[in-house]
Amino acid sequence: TKIRTELGWSPKVNFTDGVRKTVDATEAEFARLRASVLEMGRVVPKAHGELASYMETAGQLGVPQAQLEKFTRTIADLDVATNLAGEAGASMLAQYANVTGMDLSNIDRLGSVIVDLGNNTATTELDIVNMGQRLAGMAGILRLTDAQTMGLAATMASLGINAEAGGSAMSRVMQRMLQDVRKGGDELKKYAQVAGLSAQAFA
């Protein structure tokens, strides 16, 4: 009981000032969301108020009601295991998803990709997601998977490239490559040669 109290456990978690402002739901649906936060707080070392704030941020940024529980749990896990802070992390990943149009039922898988990259590259999860946000627009146009986008982001961040400047520069490079591929000709052949592919395969 003492531990639960210290972690913010309460049978009267109130969504009125938070989740209710950003999520359109029936009373029965709010009751289900409340129950999910209470249950989550029993297995994740985060206060219920913090978990509710993640859910509030998610609702504000357009995360569908059906994905709020999974999204909140993913953010809580990232907050515990990485340097990607809760509400900031929720905002960054929700905005990334909005830009790329990713299926948020896969948010837990994206979280796993970010953690794995953070563990196996010379950068942090926060820097990976920050760079991924900058690449999201062009990545969506090029139809890169979320894993490919974050992999590219991790590579760039590992080289010490600044997210704001580097993300914009890489997006321009990808835009130029896309234009050259569509035109065909010598530029496409150069890309293909460097990649060790035929022009058709590279395209």
Q: Is the pLDDT of residue 88 over 70?
A: yes
Q: Is the pLDDT of residue 4 over 60?
A: no
Q: Is the pLDDT of residue 12 over 60?
A: no
CB 30 within 8 A of CB 20: yes
Section 16-28 average pLDDT: 84
Per-residue confidence (pLDDT) for residue 15, from 0 to 100: 62
Helix (H, G, I), strand (E, B) or coil at 159: coil
CB atoms within 10 A of CB 195: 10
**110: pLDDT confidence band, cut at 50, 70 and 90?**
very high
CB 154 within 8 A of CB 117: yes
pLDDT tens readout for residues 47-66:
888 999 999 999 998 899 99
Q: Is pLDDT larger for residue 8 or for residue 126? A: 126
CB 50 within 8 A of CB 90: no
Q: What is the token pair recorded at 149? A: 């986008």
Section 10-17 average pLDDT: 57
Instruction: State how far the alpha carbon of 163 is from the alpha carbons of 139, 152, 190, in Å.
Output: 15, 12, 28
Section 95-110 average pLDDT: 92
pLDDT mean across residues, the chain: 88
Per-residue confidence (pLDDT) for residue 20, from 0 to 100: 87
Helix (H, G, I), strand (E, B) or coil at 25: coil
pLDDT tens readout for residues 126-156:
999 999 999 999 998 988 999 999 999 999 9
Percent of the chain scored above 70 by pLDDT? Answer: 92
Helix (H, G, I), strand (E, B) or coil at 152: helix
In sequence order, which residues have a C-beta less than 8 Å from that of residue 150 and are 6 or more positions away?
Answer: 110, 113, 114, 117, 128, 129, 132
Nearest-angstrom CA–CA distance, 83 and 165: 22
Nearest-angstrom CA–CA distance, 119 and 19: 33
